[in-house]
Amino acid sequence: RSIPNINSLRERLNQHGKAEILHLEDQDLALQIAAFSEANVVVAQHGAALTNVIWMRPGSLVVEIIPPDKVPATQRHEYFSLLAEMMNVRHQYIFQDHDHAELTQAQMQQIESILILENV
């Protein structure tokens, strides 16, 4: 999975606070725990790294970027949204065209809108 224009998203999110890009596959567990436990908001692509939601503080927010075909008809039973619910972490979806699609300006605006609406 990838977001070819991830730096554009980071630049936009930096207008709302500090935004960092982390490649968790290169990081040890201690760094992953620290990053997720300190974050108020995590914007991430659908994938195993989102199991780190278990380290997030209650009331924090995760925005999951995901192709629509990966979301079951009953979103409540999708594992990361369910995991977030169990951890009292707010969860929102942003739909990416496919696993390696750039985010459109509209999708980036949608992420910004979520941050504003969620007061983060």
Euclidean distance between CA atoms 61 and 79, whole angstroms: 16
Beta strands at 61-66 and 90-95: parallel, antiparallel or unpaired = parallel
Average pLDDT, the chain: 91
Q: Which helix H or strand E contains 62, and what residues bound it?
A: strand 61-66
Q: Quick one: what percent of the chain has pLDDT higher than 90?
A: 76
Is the pLDDT at 3 greater than 90, yes or no?
yes
pLDDT of 91: 94
Is the pLDDT at 72 greater than 80, yes or no?
no
Entry pTM: 0.91
pLDDT digits (tens, 9 = 90+) for 14-69: 988 889 999 998 899 999 999 999 999 999 999 999 999 999 999 999 999 999 88
